[in-house]
């Protein structure tokens, strides 16, 4: 979806934002948070650039939830590795 969004970006920026948001949702739904960091950041930058501030706020809230749970999993793994 990210590749499709880059292709469509020059013709329809709103469609690009939709594809990027869907890509973020897919990465989270399939438990791929470690790959979602760049996609989230690129989507947030795009939303801010085109002036969709309300969507950017919603995405930031989602990013906080996702990355907090991701950090908890990493901290758990590091504790387990020390045992």
Cα–Cα distance measured from residue 11 to residue 55, given in angstroms and rounded to the nearest whole number: 21
Q: Which tens digits make up the pLDDT trace of 12-67?
A: 888 888 888 899 888 888 877 777 888 888 999 999 999 999 999 999 998 888 88
Q: Which long-range contacts (CB under 8 A, 24 or more apart) does 54-59 make?
A: 55/17, 55/21, 59/21, 59/24
Helices 13-29, 53-82: inter-axial angle, 10-degree rounding: 30
Q: For position 80, what pLDDT does the model report?
A: 45
Q: What is the pTM of this model?
A: 0.74
Average pLDDT over residues 65-83: 60
The pLDDT assigned to 74 comes to 55
According to the model, what pLDDT value does residue 44 have? Answer: 92
Contact 75, 56 (CB under 8 A): no
- For CA atoms 55, 5, 23, 32, the dihedral sign is negative
Determine the pLDDT at residue 9.
74
Half-sphere exposure of 4 (CA within 13 A, CB side): 10
């Amino acid at each position: 979806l990210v590749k499709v969004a880059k292709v469509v970006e020059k013709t329809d920026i709103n469609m690009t934002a939709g594809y990027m948001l869907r890509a973020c949702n897919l990465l989270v739904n399939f438990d791929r948070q470690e790959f979602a960091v760049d996609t989230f950041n690129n989507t947030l930058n795009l939303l801010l650039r085109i002036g969709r501030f309300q969507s950017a706020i919603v995405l930031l809230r989602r990013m906080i939830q996702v990355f907090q749970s991701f950090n908890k999993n990493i901290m758990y793994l590091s504790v387990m590795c020390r045992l």
